[in-house]
Structure 1
Amino acid sequence: MKDLHSFGWYAGKIKPDLPNEAFDPVPARLWGGLAYLLVTIAGLLTIGLLSINPIFYLGISIILGCSFAALGFLGHEILHGTVVRKPWLRDFLGAIAFWPLTTGPRLWRKWHNLTHHVHTQHEEHDPDAWPTFEKLAKSRFLRWIYRLPLGIRAFFSFCSLSIQFSAHSMKMFTVYLKEFNPKKRPAVLIEAILPWMTWIGLLVWVGPFKWFFMFLLPLLIANLIVMGYISTNHRLNPTTEVNDPLANSLTVTVPKWVDFLHFNFSYHTEHHLFPGVSSKYYPLVKEQIKKRWPERYHEMPMGSALVALWKTPRLYYQQSELIDPSKGTLFGSLGNGLDPKNIQSKGLDTLDTLKAFQERKAK
């Protein structure tokens, strides 16, 4: 693996070439959020108050799911402090934006801002990092999962994208609640409960049939969109001891109109270099990165990244490789031999390693 540098090292070199206004909050981003909020309310009222052909409910559900996802992207930006700076207003607006995804602002900042961003792709400390080969021997469930052929695992993994964000958010709630100051835990609990009270209240009001189109299906669609990005953010990259965004993060490319609708969420390496800068300015950050370190920078079309995810396993081996225990084969990671256009695997390097692998698989 190439020499690694911290995100601060890169940011320090790029910052002088960015305009001063890039470091100011951009409250104008809220206009986009207002548009999505109005679309969401209109969609919910249309399904809730009108009795029309269910095919129209389906169309509205798709629009609602896209709006839920886009509000989540804006909420992510808001809670990084790049839209407004006042803490109470930041958390209030972030709570509204994340309401459909049922994630509270305090939990998100603890999990995402203070842990994931600080320990990105660290195999022990990043709550979003995928497991290592060493953890396989310690988990009967993982051993069962990774006995399945890669194609079957990939199929179910992609299907699970429709629930992964919500499921992981619930897991993070149980993990981090105890780490909050006891005086702040009631607020964290309220932020977690209130959105669900809203959606369960909606179920009581409209019944299960309409609720499916008003919340459940849109939530699945939103999960799928959000996880389409999140699954490509780091899962093809190596784990790293040093938090080097050019090594451990991937920027995907999508059509410009999609970037507009999704608040430039595709610029993920740029986000990890400057999480306190509005994504409005990430194209400028990208220009500076590619000017200085083009050989280190990882980007690819979203479709290519998803195909590469399908064809590679999600279990890390010695940080820079991905291992498929069902066959005992290795794949490179980005910057370490993985060519998304020609994905190749290889056998384990040594007899000792193979023996260790076989012994663990047999347990």
Structure 2
Amino acid sequence: MKDLHSFAWYAKQISPKLPKKVFKPVPSRLWGGLAYLLIVVAGFLTIGLFQLHPFIYLLISFVLGTSFAAMGFLGHEILHGTVVRKPWLRDFLGAIAFWPLSIGPKLWRKWHNLSHHVNTQHEEHDPDAWPTLERLSKTKLLNWIYHLPHGVRAFGSFASLTLMFTLHSARMFAAYIKEFNPKHRRSVWVQLILPWVFWITLLFIMGPMKWVFAFLIPLLIANAIVMGYISTNHRLNPITEINDPLANSLTVTVPKWVDVLHFNFSYHTEHHLFPGMSSKYYPLVKKHVKNMWPDRYHEMPIGKALVALWKTPRLYYDGNQLIDPREGHVYSTLGHGLDISNITFRKVNKDDALERIIKLSKSKVGQVLKDK
């Protein structure tokens, strides 16, 4: 993909083809959120008030975990202003929706709306972008991780999905808290602390065993579901100098009933084209994008996307490639030769790699490349 365009450029081409109603908020989405909230309350009461077989508790945990995740998807939509427009109501409803995942609305808008969306797949400014080979020598943890065999790394990466959203949220809080205006900083802290006060209070009310089924296991399940989507959003796409959603984003396909339950969260390219539009209308946007730029648009079943993630490393090399420095294997990205039905690699020449890396410690990279 040679010619890159900004999301605004694409939006300008598509907008005239869309009915005016798609640019208005859709408050009816809140009915789905209310349903999930009632399910969560019912689950808590059932676990807390009744002595049941642990297997029954586990089934309830699964329902709670899927509800936590779905509430997070709705919270994501609410905080983009596509459900209600009044700032105080948007933040209030967003806080409720993100309560199970313990993320405050001010942090989310700073991290996701203002940083990730504006700088998608920018190697320095996107807080969600995966690292480049240049960063390998500067991060001891990365150096250690990439000494491990690919299979071990892939297993660890997929296992960590059960924790990754919560851990990354904490990292984003630490990264952005000082950037808030001092008069707003206190409210950001409050939005972080209040959910955890609630969950810890619930621990004392229910007791440790029931709390594990009511919150801890559902949180792990919710993390896995949310990260199952997020891990496919951009990680098979290249790093791009221009924020081009058709180049740097991937839409995954899931059964229609899953899209209904998850508020169309699978339509990720469409979301980056129109972040201020309700996901209710993303199927219509997708139809126009595929008609106008069929050779640029990336989509695949979520299962195949996850398999491709397992088979490829998460370290960028030369922008549009992924590298396993331990083996010296280089893989293509979407739009640059990646074929998910036949994932192959080429062997990197260490000397060529070192010449293309700017400001990189040659001794450290050389050690990683040789350590097979």
Amino acid at match of 1:161: L
Partner of 1:336: 336
Aligned equivalent of 1:23? 23
Counterpart residue number, 1:260: 260
The CA deviation string for residues 178-214 of structure 1, in whole angstroms up to 9 with x for no partner, is 0000000010000000000000000011111000000
Q: CA RMSD in A?
A: 1.2
Cα deviation code 1:249-289 (max 9, x no counterpart): 00000000000000000000000000000000000000110
CA distance in 2, matches of 1:21, 1:354: 53
> Hey, what's the Cα distance between the residues in 1 that align with 2:98 and 2:307?
29
Quote the residue 1:273 is aligned against.
Answer: 273
Find the aligned partners of 1:271 and 1:312 in 2 and give their Cα distance: 25
Aligned partners of 1:327, 1:286: CA distance in 2, in Å?
38
Corresponding residue for residue 365 of structure 2:
360
| Cα distance per residue 1:78-106 (max 9 Å; x no partner) | 00000000000000000000000000000
Q: Residues 16-165 of structure 1 correspond to what in structure 2 (within 5 A)?
A: 16-165=16-165
1:254 and 1:266 in contact (8 A); partners too: yes
8 Å contact from structure 2 (residues 328, 350) kept in 1? no
Amino acid of the structure 1 residue aligned with 2:313: P
Match of 2:250 in 1: 250
SS at match of 2:182: coil
Partners in 1 of 2:366 and 2:33 — Cα distance?
49
- Structure 2 distance, partners of 1:65, 1:334, is 31
Measured after TM superposition, the shift of residue 34 of structure 1 is 0.3
Q: Secondary structure at the match of 1:330?
A: strand
CA distance, structure 2, for counterparts of residue 270 and residue 349 of structure 1: 38
- Counterpart position of 1:304: 304
Q: 2:328·2:349 contact (CA, 8 Å) conserved in 1?
A: no
Q: Which amino acid aligns with 1:65?
A: G
TM-score normalised by the chain length of structure 2: 0.96
Paired residues of 1:348 and 1:354 also in contact (CA < 8 A): no
Using the alignment, how far apart are the partners of 1:329 and 1:258 within structure 2?
36
CA distance in 1, matches of 2:66, 2:352: 50
The AA in structure 1 aligned to 2:367 is A
Distance 1:83 1:361 in 2: 52
Matched residues in 2 for 1:108 and 1:126: separation? 14
Q: 2:231 — aligned with what?
A: 231
2:354 & 2:328 partners in 1: Cα distance?
A: 8
TM-score (normalizing by structure 1): 0.98
Q: Classify 1:361/1:210 alpha carbon distance in 2 versus 1 (closer, same or farther; 3 Å).
A: farther
Shift of 1:329: 0.9
Aligned length: 363
Partner Cα separation in structure 1 for residue 260 and residue 218 of structure 2: 21
Q: Is there any run of 5+ residues in structure 2 with no aligned partner, and where?
A: none
- Give the SS at the match of 1:183: helix
Contact 1:143 1:361 in 2 (8 A): no
Structure 2 vs 1, CA of residues 358 and 333 (structure 1 numbering), >3 Å: closer, same or farther? farther
Would you say the 8 A contact 1:103–1:191 is kept in 2?
yes
1: CA distance between counterparts of 2:157 and 2:260? 28
1:298-338 deviations in Å (ceiling 9; x for gaps): 00000000000000000000110000011011000000111
Q: CA shift at 1:361, angstroms? A: 3.6
Aligned to 2:101, the other structure's residue is in SS state coil
2: CA distance, partners of 1:229 / 1:349: 34
- Tell me if structure 1 keeps the 8 A contact 2:330–2:347: yes
Query: Structure 1 residue 348 and structure 2 residue 348: aligned?
Result: yes
Secondary structure of the structure 1 residue equivalent to 2:138: coil
Secondary structure class of the residue paired with 2:322: strand
The alpha-carbon distance between structure 1 residues 200 and 294, as it changes in their structure 2 partners (threshold 3 A), is same
Residue 14 (structure 2) pairs with residue 14 (structure 1): yes
**Contiguous gaps of at least 5 residues in structure 1:** none
Structure 1 residues 223 and 359: CA distance shift in structure 2, 3 A: closer
Once the two structures are TM-superposed, the CA of residue 37 in structure 1 deviates from its matched residue by 0.3
User: How many Å separate the matches in 1 of 2:350 and 2:186?
Assistant: 53
SS of residue matched to 2:346: strand
* Distance in structure 2 (CA, Å) of the matches to 1:361 and 1:257: 49
Query: CA shift at 1:347, angstroms?
Result: 1.1
How big is the shift at 1:342?
0.3
Question: Percent identity of the aligned residues?
Answer: 69
Q: Read off the aligned partner of 2:153 and give its amino acid letter.
A: R
Q: Secondary structure at the match of 2:300?
A: strand
Give, in angstroms, the shift of residue 239 of structure 1.
Answer: 0.5
The 8 Å contact of residues 253 and 301 in structure 2, kept in 1 or not, is answered as yes
| Residue aligning to 1:219 | 219
User: 1:117 is aligned with what amino acid?
Assistant: H
Aligned partners of 2:102 and 2:192 also within 8 Å: yes
